Amino acid sequence: MIIDANTWIGHWPFRSLPKRSARDLLEQMDRLKISKALVGNLNGLLYKDVHESNHELAAEIQRHADRLVPCALINPLYDGWRDDLRQCREKFGMPVLRLTPDYHGYALSDPCASELISEAHGLGMRVAFYWRIVDPRGRHWLDPGREADGALVEQVMAQFPEHPFLMLNFTRVLSRPDTQAPCLYDITYFLGRNGLLLMDHLAAHGAARFVLGTTMLMRYGSAPLLALEKCELSSKEREAILWRNIAKLIPELS
């Protein structure tokens, strides 16, 4: 079994994506033998009323609930966000909230960020931080996205010591005291040095800290799977990264 912790459907406004729909994503997943995926809707990054993208996502994947598990996008500066978040959890069954503060006009240091995280935890949701949505070297001039400040992310996480977070598109493992719940990192950006970089990170942090993430449909999906295939791992470690770690964090994926 393989579970992808980091996929998107929808329209990316700054570049034409060749594939955008749930059906497209499922085709790619089939090709790569991925059973299930956490999926977000790119449309929600720039809508004024972000919650419309959650409605769209729920409708789009309704017929594929056995394979696609939706992730919510919420703007805590927009009126009614608490009701929207509750609807995401209770009506749409979304177990994960993805934070994309640059696109919604707030900072992780703002009180509203902590309020949003706290509210999501109160609803039994897991929260995902993004290091970045796109590589800054190729960023569109109107794209508000920037790389997250690692120290700031650590500060925000420290406010919720008992909660594990999902860390997406990060390039390094942030420090977190051993007494706090460990976070899971997707391996998307732990690639390089002809495959040796991932091996180094796995040796340093252990397989229990990583999950598979491809970032499809924004990017090609094979690279992290290929890197993982070439790593010297026990079958138990490989299974942990491919699906067990994320399934344990998000029971809806089991």
Partner 1 sequence: MIIDCHGHCSIDGSYSLSADDTVRSLDLYGVDQICCSAPVTSGDAEPGLIRQRNDLILGAMRKYPDRIMGMCFVNPGHAREAQDEITRCVVDNGMVGVKLYNQYRICDTVQFPIIERCIDLGVPILMHAGYPAAPELRALQPRISTGMHFAGAARRYPEALLICAHIGGGGDWERQLKGLREAPSVYVDTGGSVIDAGMIERCVRELGIERILFACDGSLERGLGKIRDANLTDSERASLYSANFLKILARRKI
Residue 223 near partner 1 by CB under 8 A: yes
Cα–Cα distance measured from residue 230 to residue 219, given in angstroms and rounded to the nearest whole number:
20
* 156-to-25, 32, 34, 117, 249 alpha-carbon distances in Å: 32, 35, 32, 9, 19
Task: Give the footprint of partner 1 on residues 172-191 (CB under 8 A).
Answer: 191
Cα–Cα distance measured from residue 76 to residue 92, given in angstroms and rounded to the nearest whole number:
19
83's CB contacts (< 8 A; 6+ apart) are: none
Closest CA to 187 of 173, 175, 204, 177: 173
Length of the chain: 254
In angstroms, what is the minimal distance from the CB of 222 to partner 1? Answer: 4
Cα–Cα distance measured from residue 80 to residue 58, given in angstroms and rounded to the nearest whole number:
19
Segment interacting with partner 1 (CB under 8 A) among 96-104, 110-118, 220-228, 243-251: 220-228
Beta-carbon-side half-sphere exposure of residue 158 (alpha carbons within 13 Å): 11
Among 23, 63, 172, 230, binds partner 1 (CB under 8 A): 230
In angstroms, what is the minimal distance from the CB of 209 to partner 1? Answer: 19
In angstroms, what is the minimal distance from the CB of 120 to partner 1? Answer: 29
Residue 33 near partner 1 by CB under 8 A: no
Residue 139 near partner 1 by CB under 8 A: yes
Q: How many CB atoms lie within 10 A of CB 168?
A: 27
196's CB contacts (< 8 A; 6+ apart) are: none
Segment interacting with partner 1 (CB under 8 A) among 52-60, 75-83, 114-122, 194-202: 194-202
Q: Which is nearer to partner 1, 100 or 188 (CB)?
A: 188
Task: Give the footprint of partner 1 on residues 101-130 (CB under 8 A).
Answer: none
Among 1, 59, 158, 196, binds partner 1 (CB under 8 A): 196
How many residues in the shown chain lie near partner 1 by CB under 8 A?
32
Among 18, 178, 179, 204, binds partner 1 (CB under 8 A): 18
Segment interacting with partner 1 (CB under 8 A) among 13-21, 45-53, 124-132, 154-162: 13-21
Q: Which residues make up the interface to partner 1 (CB under 8 A)?
A: 15-19, 135-141, 191-196, 198, 216-227, 230
